[in-house]
Every structure is written in C-alpha cells, then in structure tokens.
Amino acid sequence: MGAVRNNREPLVVITGGLGRVAGVVLPQLRKHYRLRLVDRSAPVASGDEVRQADIGDPDAAYQAFEGADAILHLAANGSPWQTWDSVYAANVRPTQSVLEAAAAHAVPKVVLASSLHVVGEYNRPQYRPVDPRLDPRPCCPYGLGKVVLEALGRTHAARTGASVTCLRLGLTGWPLTERRYLGQWLSDGDAGRLVLAALNARERYGVHFGVSANTRNYWDITSARHELGYRPEDDSELLADRTGPSSGPVCRLFDDSQPSE
C-alpha cells in the first residue's frame, strides 16, 4: 500500500488499476485526486493506495469502494477473440458487481470503459464519422459485452441517480504501428484529458467516443467535446508515416471488404 494523499482530495477508485489503460491516465489523475488502485495482480510500489482484489467478487468490490467519491471501471479482458462465456465471466459479471457495490456506497459518479467495438459494424466509409447515438452494432463478442456494460450503466443511473459516463475508447495505450488504427487512436495525453472530463461531468447518463482529434475523423467526438468538455490536443496524422500495413485479421471492426488505407 502506497502513501495516502491529502484526505480532503476526492477519492477515485480505479478497477484494473495496474493495467494498460490505467497506466496511461494515472499521471493526470494524480494531479487532482487521491487514487485507490484495485487489481487482481499483486501490489507494486506506488505513491497510490493499491489493493489486491477480484472485483467480480461482490464482497471484495464492496470493500474496495468504501469511501469512494467516484469509480473509474477499467478492469476487463479486452481481447476481441473471446467467446461469449469468457466475455460474460471476465467483463459483464464484474461490471454488475461494481455497480452493485457503487449503489451500496451511494457513489455519485461512475465512469465505465466501453469500446468502439460496441459499434464496430459501422466502421465503414459510408457511416463516417460514426454518430455515438446510433443503435449498437457490435463486431465481436467483446463488443457485445460492452453493449451490456452500457445498458447496466444506464439502468444504474436511472435507479440510483448517480452520474454514469461510458467512454467508448479507441486504441489506448498501444503503439500506433498500423495504418488502420489512425482513425481510432487515442493518445496518452488525450486519454488523461478525456477521463478527467468524464469524472468531472455531471450528466445523468452519457455515451461518448474516446479518440483524439484525428484528421481521419471516423468517430464523432462532438458529444464528448460539448457534454464533457473534452479538449483533445493530438492528431494521429502526425504519426502516419511511421505506420505500416495490417498485421492480420482482428474482428469485423475491420472488415476485409473495406478499401485498404
């Protein structure tokens, strides 16, 4: 367990707190909040409070969220190649556990990490920039699990009165090595700016795309700008010359019938 900061600062509990996405956003969050990182992995040296717990266990989730002013739920298996059974066990059920614990503690703000895979079937030239208000069309079981996550979040907001924001994250925390990801890149800096904006937003319920201000405007971030106050500063086009061809199939987020980029 790391050092505890000023107790007057709001406490944000982050599930998957030792994971890839958390590592990207922590530097900016530390400037504004006390943080409690919750992860199944063994604690590491950190200036934050770190707890080892499986938030799929309702009792463990309840204990992890004690005293929380906000929850940032990042814990998930992000593989698009999972079966539905795996998605339910690793992603859906833990989200339900998180929201039940959030309700028990009356946590006023919850930010849920969703994914572009929720609407992956719209990643076609005729739909761009994709509107986040379109009905979900997931491209894989992972995306379907995030559809359920968003529905659980909407129900939680309606039943408890908490503010729930779902962020459909693009390529986050990975190196930008392939051209097909230029339209969905979220830089490390913009990821921190987006999460900060989401934590500060008091919308009852919202769903927003999480990408940078990319020249390849495939995903409409107007709602994130206007409703969250998100101000992205980066553009994947500046890195386009460093990218290469696709390494192979992922899921229908990138349909083989699309023109090559």
Catalogue the active-site residues: 142
Continuous H helices in 47-181: 58-64, 84-87, 93-104, 141-160
Long-range contacts of 226-232 (CB under 8 A, 24+ apart): 227/201, 227/203, 228/165, 228/194, 228/197, 228/198, 228/200, 228/201, 228/203, 229/197, 229/200, 229/201, 230/193, 230/194, 230/197, 230/198, 231/193, 231/197, 232/187, 232/190, 232/193, 232/194
Question: For residues 107 and 68, is the Cβ–Cβ distance under 8 A?
Answer: yes
